[in-house]
Amino acid sequence: MSLAAEMTVTLRLPTRTLFEGQATRLTAVAPNGAFGLLPNHVDFVTALVPSVMTLCLVDGAEDIFGLDEGLLVKTGHSVCVIALRGVQGDDLGSLQDTVEESFVQMDEEERQARSALSRLEADMVRRFAELQRPLP
């Protein structure tokens, strides 16, 4: 494997790609603690816990992301992060507000979807019970 000054990072959510670009450094948090990756780091796979992930971009800027649980896979000079939920922020203060707002909204939508699914399941069970009754 050749030495590289940057790595390709892709951050995917279930519904979209949140980030795709070049970075010189990545920091994130696994179940056993925080870690950092550089472009020439050995191939690596880990679970991610709800936390903040930072990327140092090629131009020197830093991007921060609030992530829910997920998975990080580094192969060669490519890093793929898959997270259940995630948001991008400008700074830690605004990121906290964005995370709270977005995740609370998602939790409410999930609660409504689960409620609708429960009603559908109950209706299906009721209809099957009606089918089993003998005809008069």
**Domain that residue 57 falls in:** 7-92
In a domain, 53, yes or no: yes
Local confidence band at 3 (pLDDT 50, 70, 90 cut-offs): confident
CA atoms of 11 and 19, how far apart (whole Å): 5
Q: How many domains are there within the chain? A: 1
CATH of the domain at 59: 2.60.15.10
pLDDT digits (tens, 9 = 90+) for 95-119: 666 767 776 666 677 777 778 888 8
| Distances, alpha carbon 47 to alpha carbons 36, 58, 86, 98, 102, in Å | 14, 25, 15, 23, 22
**For the chain, what percent of residues have pLDDT higher than 70?**
88
Buried-exposed string 22-32: b where 16+ CB fall within 10 A, e elsewhere? bbbbbbbbeee
The reported pTM is: 0.70
Local confidence band at 72 (pLDDT 50, 70, 90 cut-offs): very high
In a domain, 126, yes or no: no
Report which listed range, 8-12, 40-44, 48-52, is most confident. Answer: 8-12
In a domain, 42, yes or no: yes
CA atoms of 136 and 134, how far apart (whole Å): 6
- Residue 72: is it exposed, middle or buried by C-beta count within 10 angstroms (0-12/13-18/19+)? buried
The residue with greater pLDDT, 126 or 41, is 41
pLDDT digits (tens, 9 = 90+) for 81-95: 999 888 888 777 776
List the Cα angle 123/125/126 in 5-degree steps: 65
Asked if residue 49 lies in contact with residue 28, where contact means CB atoms within 8 angstroms, the answer is: no
Query: Residue 91 is encoded by which pair of tokens?
Result: 């700074």
CA atoms of 85 and 116, how far apart (whole Å): 22
In a domain, 112, yes or no: no
In a domain, 59, yes or no: yes
Q: What is the pLDDT of residue 128?
A: 80
